[in-house]
Amino acid sequence: MKSAFHHGLVLGLVGFACAASALLAQDDDEGLPLPSWSEEDLRAMREQPQAAPLLNNLLWPENVEFLAETEPASADTPDARQPAADLSRFLPPHLIASPGAGRSLPSAFIPTSAASLRDVSAAFLADAAGWPPERHLIDPNGELSETMEGDFARFLEFHARDARVRLHVLLLGRDERLPGAASPVMVAQGSLQHGNACLAVVPRGEPWRLRLFLSRHVHETAPPAELAEMLEDCVRDAMLATDEDEQIHRLLVRLSIRLFWLERLLTKPAAVKEAIVRNPEPLSEVTVLPDPVPIIETRMTVPLAAGLAALLGLIFWRWRRYKLRHYVWTLPEREVAPRLGGAHCGGGTWIDYR
Amino acid sequence: MLICPRCRSPLRLGGACCDRCGCHLGRLQQMLGDQQVKVERLIDHARCLALKDFQRLEHCLDEFERRFPQIHAIVFLGGLLSGVSAAEAGFWLLNQGVCTRPSGTMPNRWGLAVIIDPVERRAGLAMGYALEACLPAGFGSEMLQRAAVHLAHDEHVRAVDALLACLDRKLRSQGSARRRTVPPGTQRTDPHLGLEVLPEAAPVPAQSPQHR
């Protein structure tokens, strides 16, 4: 009895829902206006019937002559359901333009020669040093347009909000480089000395000259191979783009992802990190990068080790030769009872070598 | 383990002769002579060394004796009497030979004799008592085995070089190293650089004109 009541209730609800949806659909049909076609539209459709919006042949104006021409013989074939259309109307113009008509692509990958590279000016360094710490995109030269700078700045702020390793980006000109004496620690009013931070020095248009600086804690915790792979991955991804702004964009996105991956390798838990932030350690123990080491140097470890081993081998070899030439060995005298009647020698051994 | 130079049977310490074959120095003196003989460092009776090989071998021996000034080495290449083994020849050579160097006569208890018979293709090794005491038992056979690799190809210089290198490594681990200095008394103070002075030649009488 009780189940019959439930069945009846369910059926009633379903019926009410169907009736309500039918009424709403009818209201929608009545509310939507039919498309109207002007003479120009009809002329354009006649000239380029393949480029006209089809929408399953339901929105054609009446009495169109070319309808029969475009309609395939068998409407059930896949070609009929997905007719060829001119996609040029749905793509940005610069993507379908001829390669020679747009910007010059090859210049994006022509590296500046080493002789042409110049150190950034003292004013640049002073601007970078006095840059506000909360602005993670450091662009003293004004390399970026206002729109791109805003986009990148928002992206870096978003990264800093969730990441344990903050990301600061120092933009250089195409032919600029950091002088050897410049200390990345002083960038952004020394804010990189506190907490875990990463400074990416990005020459505009030349992502292969990317330099990364990490806080000492991060640098010592993460495996060198992982850091080298991170650097290579960022450069590789940036090189996929030819546009300079797009290169920076791809580089930042990839670097942000890799820094999030890097967090998993950091052994220090978040609670400990917060405690350190609230109670700063003494100056000598603060996890800063007083002597930042570019990650690129980790790739030189194997050649350096091999060179050191070769040097040690050479020193040992020279020392051995020197010792063999300038040293003498004195053997201890031991008494041996004479035998076989010999006063000085008591026999020997022999072999046949045939 | 000490072995007899003739039959290779083990020897007793201090034994006057081999218990098996009766080998002793007196028997060899009957065959090879009981007089003292002057021994050069490198003897090539077989004439199997070219001049270049001879110089290389001299250089090897020089280097070895410079590092171990107590030791003197003798290399003998030549045919042996029938009935005399290579080890017996070395045994006799170290007991009957007198080896001199610029510093004087070398004590044979620090001597090393390498005997190679290229005709019969056999090689022997004998060491003085003092040198033998610095080496483990059976080390002589090991050195000969290393040299035999080259001897089989008639590379006599390389064979001696390998033998000396093997001995060099072992002795350096046994001895104490010190920087080489010129020993006192080495510098000569006598005239003529220590060379023997020839007797003055008798004056040649002037020939008279009548003889012409």
Please say if the pLDDT value at position A238 is more than 50: yes
- Average of per-residue pLDDT values in chain B: 88
Taking contacts as CB-CB distances below 8 angstroms, the residues of chain B near A341 are: 16-17, 24-26
Q: What is the pLDDT of residues B63-78, one digit of tens each?
A: 999 999 999 999 999 9
Say if residue A166 is in the same domain as residue A289.
Answer: yes
- Whether the CB-CB separation of A235 and A250 falls below 8 Å is answered with no
Please say if the pLDDT value at position A265 is more than 70: yes
Residue B57 lies in a domain: yes
pLDDT at A263: 84
- Most confident stretch, A125-134, A233-242, B123-132: B123-132
Say if residue A125 is in the same domain as residue A45.
Answer: no
Query: DSSP code of B184?
Result: T
* CB within 8 Å: B25 and A328: no
Say if residue A78 is in the same domain as residue A162.
Answer: no
Number of domains in chain A: 2
pTM equals 0.46
Partner B contacted by A283 (CB < 8 A): no
Please say if the pLDDT value at position A273 is more than 60: no
**Mean pLDDT computed over A269-274:** 45
- Nearest Cα residue to B102 out of B16, B176, B188: B188
pLDDT at A36: 72
Number of domains in chain B: 1
- Nearest Cα residue to B79 out of B127, B35, B123, B24: B123
Say if residue A188 is in the same domain as residue A128.
Answer: yes
Q: How far apart are CA A222 and CA A243, in angstroms?
A: 32
User: What phi, psi does A202 have (nearest 5°)?
Assistant: -115, 110
Out of A273, A299, A325, a domain closes at A299
Burial label, A102 (beta-carbon count in 10 A; 0-12, 13-18, 19+): exposed
Q: What is the pLDDT of residues B80-103, one digit of tens each?
A: 988 899 999 999 999 999 988 877
pLDDT at B188: 62
**Mean pLDDT computed over A3-21:** 60
Residue B121 lies in a domain: yes
Please say if the pLDDT value at position B124 is more than 70: yes
Partner A contacted by B148 (CB < 8 A): yes
Q: How far apart are CA B14 and CA A342, in angstroms?
A: 10
What CATH number corresponds to the domain at position B64?
A: 3.10.310.50
* CB within 8 Å: A340 and B108: no
The parent domain of residue A63 ranges over 36-92
Partner A contacted by B22 (CB < 8 A): no
Please say if the pLDDT value at position A299 is more than 90: no
- Nearest Cα residue to B28 out of B81, B64, B65, B67: B81
* CB within 8 Å: B126 and A354: no
Confidence of residue A279 (pLDDT cuts 50, 70, 90): very low
Say if residue A51 is in the same domain as residue A153.
Answer: no
Taking contacts as CB-CB distances below 8 angstroms, the residues of chain A near B140 are: 348-349
Place of tokens 């380029």: A48
Residue A351 lies in a domain: no
Say if residue A218 is in the same domain as residue A85.
Answer: no
CA angle A79, A82, A86 (to 5 degrees): 110
CA angle A8, A14, A15 (to 5 degrees): 90
Question: Could you tell me where the DSSP H helices lie in A122-269?
Answer: 122-129, 146-162, 216-221, 224-238, 244-263
Residue B210 lies in a domain: no
Q: How far apart are CA B53 and CA B155, in angstroms?
A: 10
Residue A10 lies in a domain: no
Q: What is the pLDDT of residues A167-176, one digit of tens each?
A: 888 888 888 8
Residue A201 lies in a domain: yes
Per cent of chain A over pLDDT 90 is 10
Question: How is residue A97 written in tokens?
Answer: 């333009």
Partner B contacted by A319 (CB < 8 A): no
Please say if the pLDDT value at position A281 is more than 50: no
Residue B80 lies in a domain: yes
A322 CA: distance to closest CA in chain B (Å)? 10
The parent domain of residue B135 ranges over 38-174
**Mean pLDDT computed over B149-172:** 94
Say if residue A49 is in the same domain as residue A150.
Answer: no
Give residues 32 to 61 of B whose Cβ lies within 8 Å of A. none
pLDDT at B68: 94
Out of A47, A73, A92, a domain closes at A92
Say if residue A191 is in the same domain as residue A281.
Answer: yes
Q: Which residue of B has its CA nearest to A339?
A: B14
Partner A contacted by B73 (CB < 8 A): no
Q: What is the pLDDT of residues A27-78, one digit of tens each?
A: 555 556 666 777 777 777 777 655 555 444 555 555 555 444 444 444 444 4
* CB within 8 Å: A348 and B177: no
Residue B207 lies in a domain: no
**Mean pLDDT computed over B168-190:** 80
Q: What is the pLDDT of residues A175-228, one digit of tens each?
A: 888 887 777 777 888 887 778 888 888 888 888 888 888 887 777 777 777 888
Please say if the pLDDT value at position B56 is more than 90: yes
Please say if the pLDDT value at position A267 is more than 80: no
Query: DSSP code of A328?
Result: E
What CATH number corresponds to the domain at position A191?
A: 3.10.310.50
- Most confident stretch, A114-118, A310-314, B18-22, B193-197: A310-314
B41-45: long-range pairs with CB below 8 Å, 24+: B41/B72, B41/B73, B41/B74, B41/B75, B41/B99, B42/B74, B42/B75, B43/B74, B43/B75, B43/B76, B43/B77, B43/B78, B44/B77, B44/B78, B45/B76, B45/B77, B45/B78, B45/B79
Residue A328 lies in a domain: no
Out of A284, A299, A314, a domain closes at A299
pLDDT at B13: 80
pLDDT at A178: 83
Residue B194 lies in a domain: no
Q: How far apart are CA B5 and CA B93, in angstroms?
A: 13
Say if residue A78 is in the same domain as residue A151.
Answer: no
pLDDT at A103: 46
Question: How is residue A30 written in tokens?
Answer: 């009545």
pLDDT at B60: 94
pLDDT at A180: 77
Say if residue A247 is in the same domain as residue A138.
Answer: yes
Q: Strand A176-177 vs strand A118-119: parallel, antiparallel, or unpaired?
A: parallel
Say if residue A83 is in the same domain as residue A127.
Answer: no
Say if residue A175 is in the same domain as residue A283.
Answer: yes
Confidence of residue A12 (pLDDT cuts 50, 70, 90): low
Please say if the pLDDT value at position B36 is more than 50: yes
